[in-house]
Each structure stands twice: as structure tokens, then as C-alpha cells.
Chains A and B, each alone.
Chain A
Amino acid sequence: MTPGLPSRAGTPPADWRDTRPPAGGRYSYAFLDEGAKREIRRRILKAAAIPGCQVPFGSREMPIARGWGTGGLQLTLSLIGPEDVLKVIDQGADDSVNAVNIKKFVTRVTGVAVTTDTAAATMIQTRHRIPEEPLQPHQILIFQVPIPEPLRLVEPSERETRRMHAEADYSRMWLYLYEDIVKFNEITVGARYPVLVNCRHLMDPSPIPRWDLAKLHQGEALFLFCAGREKRIYAVPPHTEVQPLSFEDFAFRVEAFAGRRCARCGSGGTYLDEVIDDATGRRTYACSDTAFCEKARRSCGAAEDPPTREGIA
């Protein structure tokens, strides 16, 4: 990669006006300066052009700690505009502390409207889940990714994993899964299950449960993934082949809930959180996707808070 120095030493770059501090010491729109946004935007295009391929980018430090969503945040901030409606979830929940914190920051630097209703959102930033409601073509789903490299399970060196992707040499991953089956009669990989994208690139879908992988395959929306600390962006466009690694005689399996239903809304077809009742030690189960659960409850006639949509001037 060519160095990013100005071509004439000592002369400010032609775009230097972009980088002057905004009047009154306030932050730029969406916090990132135009140069940072442009770099991220260029990288996103390349990621979309090569589905599943990790594209390195100049990740910026954010006021939120590394490991806490700075990657997803940089994508959101580079894409967002005043007409967008943003939803942020963590483990499927809109009001988890991490989601609330991120929403607070984004609304502070953009004034954009936020919602808990999946159908009303134009951009959704998520940690570890895909919403249960099917996404629409105009929507963008942005995944927070801790470790973008699917081969990290079998190889710690980035140099080596880069070579493996270049040569489509995924034999060590296949071997790992095969050894699992031999040892445990099961594939022990839970979330972060490796998938093959566009029949070419092995990809880490981020720590979403296996339950959610089918939603990546031939979807309607654009899926963008970003690891801020590891500095990688990757993408799955709509209508793209996404297949979890699986053997002919040992099929890929999703999590089983043994026919259990959500204790709040009664759904039988969603990913459930297991909750320990602290009084009795009993287990109850509820939808991980809290917004979906609320909608289902209301459509059953139960009175509960409506989905929030706050416009912030």
C-alpha cells in the first residue's frame, strides 16, 4: 500500500479545508472527519465488491473503547445521514447498556432519529444477533465484530491466514471440524461458525448464533461487518451464497430449544434467552429479540410499551 503522505511536502493537501476544526469547537457531523469517512467509504466499496473478503482499513480511535463496537460505529458514522432512522441492538436487545451507549453517542453527533422497530429502521447496528423480522432491500445491517478472522481458531498469525485466504486453502479449518466430530461426535463451534461466501471466501459471521446464519444466505439487505480493533471491513451483498461449513454425512445444526416457547409472547420460532429465576433456580425462556417480542405480545392483545421512535432536533 502506498504511504499516505501529501505528494508535495509541507503543502497542505487540497482537501485541507475538510479538516479544519468546526466552528465553536463542536465535533464534525458524525464525529469522524471527512477524510476518515472517505477512507472507510472506499474500503466498504471494495468489501462489497469481494463478498466475504476482509479489507484492511485505517481504523480511527473512538470515544468508546476498542472491543466495545468501534468498528460497527465507524461504519455507521461513515454511512449515516439526516434521513436515516437508526436501531442499535446488543444480544438482540435495544436497551442493553452497550446499545444504549452507542445510540447516545450517535444521536449526540448526528441528531438522527432512533427506533426500536426493526421495520422502521434504515440502518441497524447490531452486536451478536440478526433481528428476527426479515430485512428489506433498503436496509443496511451493520455487525460489530471482535475477531474478523475465521481461521484464528486454527492459526494465530495474520501473515499465514492472509496466505490461506489468497490460496483458498481452508483445509486446516475443515480438519478442525472433522477432529471435533471424531472426538465429540459433534461440531463444538457455537457462535462464530465459519461460512463460505460466494463459494470462495471463508468468513467469520461475527458471534451470532448458528440460528441466524440462514438469514445471511440470499438475503434482501446489505450486510456490513467491521472490526475496529483488528481494522478489517467485510461485506455480504444481498442475494449472495452464504453456506456454513458442513460435511455430507454430518449436517450443520442450529441451536435447539426443544420445542420451548417464549414466556412473554409465546413465539416458538425465535432464538431464546435462558433466564435463571433467582428465587427458585428455575429456568424461563424469552425472545432474545426484544423488539420482536414486544410486537408479538401486542398483536396478541397484551398492553405494553409501544416501540420508541425518538426524533432529536
Chain B
Amino acid sequence: MDASGRRNQKNYRSLLQSLSRPGRVVRLADLAGVPPLSAAMAIAECLLDSEVGFCVDDSSCAHGLQRAIAEATGARTECLEAADFVFFSEGDSRGGVRRAKRGRSEFPEEGATLVYCLESPPADVSDRFRVRLTGPGIPGPSGIAPEMPGIPVQEFQDLMIVNADYPLGVDAFFVRPNGEVMGLPRSTRIRVR
């Protein structure tokens, strides 16, 4: 198996682990490309190719993530509403999550996959305790607080609204430059204090 195949296989196992156990932090084994977006690139190389459409929602075009992903994977560039994969390169969708596609009732799996590219964690990490997650993959009826700090609470509130009509919805990965990943599928029930 060649190096990129190996990397994709290992990273995929981490991604599958993180989506099957929502709210937990898992680490990508093998990053790709140049920091700080090497974790996002690792996910892109693992999952994207010419058969899917993607969008990088990025207000300052300084990142170049869009071009890097297109060149590395051959994925089609789409608008946010039509994309299969949406990268929020500034870690905050600023309401963009509400525009991502949520699937059709007979094809809920068409809902988009979101990748939030977070910076290094902020000093104050207490916000995450306002959020409670329950559902498939999370043991116990009282659930857990998301293990990854620094995600704006508004994002959880938006996801709660977007995924209210389960099984329609979106599925999200939150990723840090050091390769930490937290998955949040649409099946997770979110409560915010």
C-alpha cells in the first residue's frame, strides 16, 4: 500500500471512530500538507474525489484551502447549498450551517458533511459545559459535554435547529491543527443551557 493510501486508511478509521462516538476527541494519525490546515487537508484527501462537490466557506481568501483541495482531490467546486462537503475554514459557520443541504426525505444521506477548522483552543474553555449531548454512540441517558473546547455555543444551537427534522440534517467534524477531531452526526441530540 502506498503512503497516501496508508494515511487515508488510518485517518479514515479515526474519522469513523469519531462519528460513531460523538462528542469524544480522537486524533488523526497522519496529517497532510502545510499547517495550520493540514488536518483539514488530511480529511479532504481521505474523503473527497472527483465524484463529490465541495465548498470552502472562507471570508478572507487568504487561506488557499479551496485551491489546495481542488488540486489534491479533483473534487468539484460547488456553492454552499449544493456542496456534499463544506469546510468552514475559520471554525465558525456564522450561520452558514443553516444553508448546507440536509438531504431529501427519501435520501437523507444526501445531507452535507461539514468540517469546522478550529484554531488552537482559547483560554476560557468552560463554554462547552453549557452543552449536553445524548444519543447513539454516547453511553448513558444523561450524556456528555463535548470534549473539544472552543466551539462557539451558537454553532451548537444552529446544529440543533438544522438537525431538528431527523433523519434530515448535516453531519459535522470539528478539527484542530494538531489533528484532534470531534464528530457530531445528526443523530446526536443537542441541548444548550
B-contacting residues of A (Cβ < 8 Å)?
A: 1-2, 4, 6-7, 13-16, 18, 28-30, 34-35, 37-39, 41-51, 53, 55-56, 79-82, 137, 162-163, 165-167, 198, 200-201, 218, 222, 235-241
Contact = CB atoms under 8 A, between A and B. Distances in A.
Contacts of B76: 7
B105 interface: yes
Contacts of B106: 162-163, 165-166
A37 B171 CA distance: 20
What 3 pairs between A and B have smallest CB-CB spacing? Answer: A14-B74, A49-B185, A29-B1
A14 B72 contact: yes
Contact of B9 (A81, A163, A200, A201): A81
Contacts of A46: 109, 111, 113, 171
Given A35-B49, A41-B47, A46-B109, A238 B20 contact: yes
Interface string B36-71: 000000000011111111000000000000000011
Given A14-B50, A49-B171, 11 more contacts: A1-B107, A13-B50, A15-B50, A29-B5, A79-B9, A81-B1, A201-B167, A235-B20, A237-B137, A238-B20, A239-B139
B21 interface: yes
15 contacts: A35-B49, A38-B46, A45-B15, A47-B109, A49-B19, A49-B187, A53-B167, A81-B6, A81-B10, A163-B106, A166-B105, A222-B16, A235-B20, A237-B21, A241-B136
A137 to B, nearest CB: 8
Contact of B12 (A4, A51, A79, A167): A79
B129 interface: no
Contacts, number: 132
Interface string B142-173: 00000000000000000000000011000100
Interface residues of B, number: 48
B13 interface: yes
Given A29-B1, A46-B109, A7 B171 contact: no
A13 to B, nearest CB: 4
B52 A45 contact: no
A50 B49 contact: no
Contacts of A137: 21
Nearest to B74: A14
A113 to B, nearest CB: 15
B108 interface: yes
A48 B185 contact: yes
Nearest to B52: A42
B92 interface: no
A79 B186 CA distance: 23
A79 B10 CA distance: 9
B17 to A, nearest CB: 8
A240 B105 contact: no
A47 B46 CA distance: 17
Nearest to B1: A29
Given A43-B109, A238-B20, A239-B136, A13 B12 contact: no
A82 B136 CA distance: 29
Contact of B186 (A34, A50, A237): A50
A48 B19 contact: yes
A159 to B, nearest CB: 9
B131 interface: no
